[in-house]
Chains A and B, each alone.
Chain A
Amino acid sequence: MSETPASETPGSETPGSETPGTPVVRVVGLHREYGREAGLVRAVDGVDLEVAAGETLAVMGPSGCGKSTLLHLLGGLDRPTAGEIWLSGQRVDQMSERALGRLRRDGVGFVFQAFHLMDELTAVENVELPALLAGRSPRAARRRAAELLDRVGLADRASFLPSALSGGQRQRVAVARALSNDPLVVLADEPTGNLDSEATVDVLRLFEELHEAGQTLVVVTHDARIAATADRLISMRDGAFVDETRLTGGSSGQLGALAGLEG
């Protein structure tokens, strides 16, 4: 399957994406500004975006380009100054804090760069927390948490405290936690930022598995390795999208060239 680089104008979406129906995430004209006048910072400066179900989208860019802010806006952790955010057909940017809380509970799973696990809870207690907050019975929540830990390969560490886990393991617990309430989309903010190479590979594998299972995933990163796992890659600079690339496509049979074996 040959493919040409899809260097479309930033922000526009290929018509007829893989899955028909409402996109899981839709953003129109998003703006987020801080400060006033001379000190005005345009963290997000006019962003349009659509993410289809089951798609993995990576947003890359240098520090300070606004990608983290974009992610916080998508997850309801911050409010935009202007623009619309739709999650599965529901308008999100004007929701009350209460509704946003419920949204974060059921619709969005967050994975942070700093893991942000509760230090005094074991792995399984951390993972079951969103389910408990959503009002599930303690038994059901515990069961699901155990399942999720098994899925990320940490079933034998369920009763370990975060301080007894390595960075990669902690992040995997965080991913399990994000999946706790079966979210529409998982938002990951520099998930491998604090990890070494080996731990990065563990998380990469996990993301690939999630992708295969059909989970919609939006990842913000400046690590090309993570970005390479995505279906679509958007480059961001100074608060706006500047480039978009489709990365799906079969093997080009160029591995040998990579190895430098010719000639």
Chain B
Amino acid sequence: MGRLALIGRLAARDLRRRPAQAGLLLIAIMAATTTLTLALALHGVTGHPYQRTRAATAGPDVVAEYGPPGTGQPSQPSQPSQPSQPSQPSQPVTPDARPLIHAPGVTEHSGPFLAASVLLRAHGIAVSVLAEGRAPGRAKVDQPLVTSGTWVRPGTVVLERTLATALGVRPGDAVTLGGRRFKVAGTAVSAAQTPFPNMCEAGCMTSGGGPGPGLAWVTPASARALARQAAWIYVLNLRLTDPGRAPALAAEFGQNRRLTPAASLLIPWQVVRNADGLLVADEQSVLEPGSWLLGLLAVATVGVLTGGRVAEQARRVGRLKAAGGTPGLIAAVLLAENLALALVAAAAGLAAGWLAAPLLTSPGAGLVGAPGAPSLTPSTIGLVAAMALAVALVATLVPALRAARTSTVVALADTARPPRRRHALIAVTRRLPAPLLIGLRLAGRRPRRLVLSMASTTVTAAGIVAVLAFHAMSDAHRVAAASGLANPVATRDGQVLAVLTVALIALAGLNAVVTTWATVLDTRHSAALTRALGATPGQVSAGLSAAQLIAALPGVLLGIPAGLLLYKVANGSGQLVTPPAWWLASAAAGILAAVAALAVVSARAGTRAAVARTLQAETA
């Protein structure tokens, strides 16, 4: 017990003595854990959203739509919807669904529900919807899940969530449906139909032209009232013994005139899911690579810092050894320190990621993705904690192993790793003006750090270029907003991209600050000496910033083609999209300017200390 207390005390004292270094490491690990949490949250959202909706709403395996007897061919799946049939408002007639209900392979059913195709007006926008009549009780198959407000009551309508967001409608608002006034009771999601605006990608019997239609639910009485003056269908939801055979069975039933009339359409759930996939495909092409990019950046940041800590640990290890510490004790102290930092960073990162995730998975999803803040799954917590611990272990093992191998004298005499002599660098910098001479020589003592910094700039540039490519593509393919309706897909993508870009930039900025600061800390002695020989602090900080900038330039240049390639690989069609040249140029310039500014700030902050004290401290 005494040994544990000793280890704890040594570790605590060490952390207190070098708060700046400890703080930097904490920030870096936290950035990594936050990013990882976000990435995992994103992944969860775009993973299998349709499945979750299906499970939560007891989704149907086959949806059967019955049209008015005598209507022609229903529109086929994924064909552009034909203009609506001239619908003579005929009285809705409940179809005889018993043959289908009792067909072999069918276990459960709900419906048939009457659904009227009417025009919804809200906030000055008009869009066609399919208003399904539902009784208050729970249906056995396809019970929509209420996501805000309440379920249907007399005089009210529940809108499908994506539709509601696109219209900007909330529970309590007043809308008109087929000319009648309704109050919006709430919003809900369902797996029976593809969310707005892609419903007819799976196949419809009704269509309104333009985006849509959307889905809404009303009381059966309201549905009957609406259907008197509008086109109508009946909707029957089926559950099969073997959901996997839904396409085959749907085809079979559809051809069998004994089971289904001519004016009917059977849609297996797989078709709905695939159509639904269209919505997320675009996003996935952005979010998945985005989350990987963030992860890479975080690792680069941590790598820079861990490398720095390893170097400065060597002398501490030497001192502990000289004081009689066994390699085991030293390793234990190092591990205790790094573990403490890592655990705090993991917890902070999880919290920050949990708070920030809704920004990325927010409204517009017609799926049970993440309404509100996503819950932290045990797997997420586990992965994040594991990553933090891995960092702590690596940061401990390397110096501990070296401690076991090198002799005490060498470790004590070692001012970290003494820089190797670089002929070329010294020869070249001689001819440069003073700030560059100083900056390049100081930064050049740790070339690996410069390489890491360059790599992280590449990653950032690649991410931003990929985002630009996406914008260029969606500009070209924007869905015509005929009714002034915001395309929720585009809106959501825009939001997601904006947040992703901000996250990329924030992390890259942090990286720039951290790298410069780490370099400043590492080269304190040399910088103080250089100042004693006549360099001004301005020259020193200008030099360090210039070195960062010079390292960032090839990173940005590499990042542009990397980003284009990344988008080509990530987007479904595999085509190479090139954003306009001036976009790329401004992005490159922006990144470089940001790197320079951040480097200057950290360098200036770091070269304030009095020269005399620094020089004396190093020899103490």
Contacts and interface: CB of A to CB of B under 8 A. Distances in A.
Whether A and B touch directly in their complex, counting CB atoms under 8 A apart, is answered as yes
Contacts of B612: 69, 72, 77-78
Interface stretch (B214-222, B349-357, B531-539): B531-539
17 contacts: A69-B612, A77-B610, A78-B613, A79-B610, A100-B536, A101-B531, A104-B532, A104-B533, A105-B533, A118-B529, A120-B420, A120-B421, A120-B422, A120-B445, A129-B530, A130-B534, A133-B535
A110 interface: yes
Nearest to A103: B534
Given A132-B434, A135-B433, A138-B431, A119 B419 contact: yes
Contacts of A118: 526, 529
B410 to A, nearest CB: 13
A231 interface: no
Interface in B574-620: 610-613, 615, 619
Interface in A120-144: 120-121, 125, 128-130, 132-135, 138, 141
A98 interface: yes
A210 B254 CA distance: 109
B426 A121 contact: yes
A97 interface: yes
A98 B539 CA distance: 9
Contact of A133 (B419, B445, B526, B530): B530
Given A112-B615, A119-B419, A120-B418, A102 B434 contact: no
Interface of A: 69, 72, 75, 77-79, 97-98, 100-102, 104-106, 110, 112-114, 116, 118-121, 125, 128-130, 132-135, 138, 141, 161, 177, 181
Contacts of B615: 77, 112, 116
B430 interface: yes
A161 B422 CA distance: 12
B434 A135 contact: yes
Contacts of A110: 532-533
Contacts of B420: 120
A113 B529 CA distance: 13
Nearest to B534: A105
Contacts of B433: 135
B437 interface: yes
Contacts of B610: 77-79
A252 to B, nearest CB: 40
Interface in B430-473: 430-431, 433-434, 437-438, 445
Interface centre among B418, B430, B445 (most CB of A within 10 A): B430
B536 A98 contact: yes
A78 B445 CA distance: 27
A129 B415 CA distance: 22
Nearest to A128: B430
A114 B618 CA distance: 10
A105 B536 CA distance: 9
Interface centre among A98, A100, A114, A132 (most CB of B within 10 A): A132
A61 B431 CA distance: 44
A128 B434 CA distance: 12
Contact of B437 (A105, A106, A114, A133): A133
Contact of B538 (A72, A98, A113, A129): A98
Interface in B241-270: none
Nearest to B425: A120
Contacts of B426: 120-121, 125
A192 to B, nearest CB: 16
Closest 9 CB pairs of A and B: A105-B534, A101-B536, A77-B612, A72-B612, A78-B612, A98-B536, A104-B534, A77-B611, A120-B421
Given A119-B419, A135-B433, A101 B539 contact: yes
Interface residues of B, number: 32
A195 B349 CA distance: 53
A178 B531 CA distance: 13
Contacts of A77: 532, 610-612, 615
Contacts of B611: 77-78
Contacts of B533: 104-105, 110, 129-130, 133, 177
B534 A106 contact: yes
Contact of A101 (B421, B437, B537): B537
Contacts of A104: 531-534
Interface centre among A69, A110, A133, A181 (most CB of B within 10 A): A133
A116 B529 contact: yes
A141 B142 CA distance: 86
B467 to A, nearest CB: 42
Nearest to B415: A119
Given A104-B531, A138-B431, 13 more contacts: A72-B612, A75-B532, A78-B611, A101-B534, A101-B537, A104-B533, A105-B534, A119-B415, A125-B430, A129-B533, A132-B430, A133-B437, A181-B534
A119 to B, nearest CB: 6
Given A101-B537, A120-B421, A133 B434 contact: yes
Contacts of A78: 610-613
B421 A134 contact: no
Contacts of A138: 430-431
Contacts of A119: 415, 418-419
Nearest to A34: B613
Interface string B348-373: 00000000000000000000000000
B534 to A, nearest CB: 3
B54 to A, nearest CB: 66
Contacts of A113: 619
B323 to A, nearest CB: 23
Contacts of A133: 434, 437-438, 530, 533-535, 539
Nearest to B437: A132
Contacts of B530: 129, 133
A241 to B, nearest CB: 21
A120 B423 CA distance: 9
Contacts of B438: 133
Interface in B371-422: 415, 418-422
Contacts of A106: 534
Interface string B284-315: 00000000000000000000000000000000
Contacts of A120: 418-422, 426, 445
Nearest to A96: B536
A130 B532 CA distance: 10
Given A116-B615, A121-B426, A134 B536 contact: no
Nearest to B421: A120
Contacts of A135: 433-434
Interface string B463-500: 00000000000000000000000000000000000000
A105 B531 CA distance: 9
B448 to A, nearest CB: 16
B537 to A, nearest CB: 5
Interface centre among B426, B431, B531, B532 (most CB of A within 10 A): B532
B189 to A, nearest CB: 64
Nearest to A115: B619
Contacts of B531: 101, 104
Nearest to B614: A77
Given A101-B539, A118-B526, A161 B534 contact: no
A101 B435 CA distance: 13
Contacts of B529: 116, 118
Nearest to A119: B418
A87 B612 CA distance: 19
A16 to B, nearest CB: 35
Nearest to B537: A97
A130 B533 CA distance: 6
A105 B530 CA distance: 10
A6 B530 CA distance: 40
Interface centre among B433, B445, B531 (most CB of A within 10 A): B531
A107 to B, nearest CB: 9
